[in-house]
Amino acid sequence: MTKVPYDPAKDFAPISAVSTNNFALVVNGKLPITSVAEFTQYVRSKEAGTFAYAEGGAGSITHLAMAMFLHRASLKGTNVSYRGTAPAITDVVAGHLPAMFALFGDALSHAQNGSVRMLAVASDKRSAQAPAIPTIAESGFPGFRAISWWA
């Protein structure tokens, strides 16, 4: 319907947050990268246009979070689109691509077995499930936040 009798932006108001998804910047567990600073150095060390990263679909949060991070860090990268985050993180685990922003829960299970390394979380605060992992904001990018929510 192109004409509706209401304005969806003005006539509706969220009344409660139902769910929030947090994301984490992850790298393949075999890479010698242990921090966001080391990650930015790694990306800078690549020849122009050779850094590629996984994402769970063009325009997805995982894609936009990395695009926003690269922009804030004055870095360049090429996105490799997948049909969802599961196949994307599978290729990061396998070492086909070095990094991605992944759903925190997916990243945590892979980080616990060492197949990926979580460098930082993209939320405002550290996660209670992984309190040693800093936020991206704490890692030199104040105000950086990439979450999804439902209300």
| Prediction pTM value | 0.89
Question: Which secondary-structure segment (H or E) carries 69?
Answer: helix 61-72
Please tell me whether residue 123 adopts helix, strand or coil conformation: coil
Does the pLDDT at position 49 exceed 80? no
pLDDT at 1: 60
> Residues near 113 by Cβ (< 8 Å), separated by ≥ 6?
none
Tens digits of residue pLDDT in 71-122: 999 999 999 999 999 999 999 999 999 999 999 999 999 999 999 999 999 9
Please tell me whether residue 116 adopts helix, strand or coil conformation: strand
Q: Rounded CA gap, 17 and 87, in Å?
A: 29
The dihedral region occupied by 118, where left means phi > 0, alpha psi between -120 and 50, and beta the remainder, is beta
Q: Rounded CA gap, 26 and 65, in Å?
A: 12
* Mean confidence (pLDDT) of the chain: 94
Burial class of residue 87, CB neighbours in 10 A (0-12, 13-18, 19+)? exposed
Q: Look at the chain and count its residues.
A: 151
Tens digits of residue pLDDT in 10-31: 898 878 888 889 999 999 999 9
Q: In the chain, pLDDT over 70 holds for what percent of residues? A: 99
pLDDT at 47: 83
| Residues 77, 120 contacting (CB under 8 angstroms) | no
